[in-house]
Chain A
Amino acid sequence: MTALPATCAEFDELADELAVGGVVEPDRSRLFAHAATCTRCGTLLDDLSSVSDRVLLLAPEIDPPAGFESRAITAMTRGATPAARRGSARRHRTPLVALAVAALVAVVLGAGVLVDRATRPSPSSRSDRQGRLVSASGEVLGTVELSTRPTPYLLVTVTDPKPGSSTVSCELDLRDGRRVVVGRWSYQDIESGVWAIGIDPHLTAATSMQVIDANGDVVATAALS
């Protein structure tokens, strides 16, 4: 094969081997370049890759050597991310935060609302805007984070949730002066100290968040930057 761009006929001939990693350079790059610009061939490669990946499910399960688990985990998390290395005051909340966001993300992704793959983050980049959640009396209650990745969401953490029967409204202030209600929570909803909700992408540019009680009074605010 020459260094010329691959044709559809060449691609079709080698697509199956390409799907199982059986094509070597420089042909491999030529074929992938063609698939990136040809819808038909790109779809063919996706389909064949998906089929060959599913066949892998039949591979036998084998116990790895002793100690593999700890070595693999150490290797994976070597140079762990900021999300997993926060200070001790925050550390106890992180797993709950991850659970809340992971569950939220899974629900949103499962519904088919996805961000472009190219824009999805490394684990080290999570929050786009954040701020401290402060009560009307000036007490710091927790934190607020807005993120566009892996899908737009609002995350509220409260250090010491207070029991109560009322439901509060969570509202975001936009630059143009609009205020948008994004959700409501009761004590049961935030008892764990974490509340998260998926939001429209444009809301991640909000400048502040207000927590409004049933009487319409602002009970807490967070300036976001």
Chain B
Amino acid sequence: MSLASRFDRLSDDALLAALALGEIDAATVFVRRWQRKVYGVAFSVTGDRVLAEDVAQQAFERAWRHAATYDPRRGAVSTWLLSITRHVAIDAMRVRRPHPLEPQDVADLLPPSSSDPSQVAEVSDDIRRVRVHLEGLPEPQRRAVLLATIGGRTMVEIGAIEGVPVPTAKTRFRTGLRKLRASMADDASPRQDP
């Protein structure tokens, strides 16, 4: 069995622990495991393939440097890594602002949960639960949350996209995020890595 294969069998938490020990083989498996998701977030926020690659690479570098600070009580490895990616992307966007995720693409992030059972079965329980929570929000609040989180949009931009005053955009986002907070707090299912 190759070294990479050995690491490939590790859980996300254990793989990150190996990363914290400075194992290059673990880094290889880590990148292979997460590159599509990391690049997806980077591209969603930046809307620019070149910048997204820079962001994704920086996100992996930060994960390597800060692997030892990961605290499993605060969330899954996936959310930890994607959060790093979003923050790197937002920092990059402050320097250079191309065209982030198109507003009409936001709807595609939340397909009807029962439209294709085979497709639904492919996603993890955690993703499925997040979708259920989001589907519980009124459409304007859901769009505001998705535009601000995955789309990396500011409240001013959301207001312009949605054709509403900035205070309205802020209220939609704030109300939506806090409803999600309440509903996810009621979600007593154990955390699982996707």
Write the nearest CB–CB distance from A144 to chain B, whole angstroms.
17
Q: Are B14 and A59 in contact (CB under 8 A)?
A: no
Write the nearest CB–CB distance from A143 to chain B, whole angstroms.
15
- On chain A, which size bracket covers the interface? 35 or more
What sequence of 0s and 1s flags, for each residue 123-134 of chain B, a beta carbon within 8 Å of any chain A beta carbon?
A: 010110011001
Task: State whether the Cβ of A201 lies closer than 8 Å to any Cβ in chain B.
Answer: no
Task: State whether the Cβ of A114 lies closer than 8 Å to any Cβ in chain B.
Answer: yes
Bound-state CA distance A21–B178 (Å) is 16
What sequence of 0s and 1s flags, for each residue 1-23 of chain B, a beta carbon within 8 Å of any chain A beta carbon?
A: 00100110011011101111111
Task: State whether the Cβ of A183 lies closer than 8 Å to any Cβ in chain B.
Answer: no
Partner of A72, one of B36, B57, B83: B57
Given the known interface contacts A51-B184, A58-B110, A84-B24, the answer about A150 and B17 at a Cβ–Cβ threshold of 8 Å is yes
Partner of B31, one of A48, A58, A73, A150: A73
Task: State whether the Cβ of A39 lies closer than 8 Å to any Cβ in chain B.
Answer: no
Q: Are A123 and B180 in contact (CB under 8 A)?
A: no
Extra pairs beyond A102-B21, A122-B65 (9, CB < 8 Å): A17-B148, A20-B90, A52-B148, A54-B130, A54-B184, A65-B53, A106-B14, A120-B68, A122-B68
B interface residues with partner A (beta carbon < 8 Å): 3, 6-7, 10-11, 13-15, 17-28, 31-32, 35-37, 39-41, 43-44, 49, 52-53, 56-57, 60-61, 63-65, 67-69, 71-75, 78-80, 82-83, 85-87, 90-91, 94, 108-110, 124, 126-127, 130-131, 134, 145-146, 148-150, 152, 154-155, 170, 173-174, 177-178, 180-181, 184-185, 194
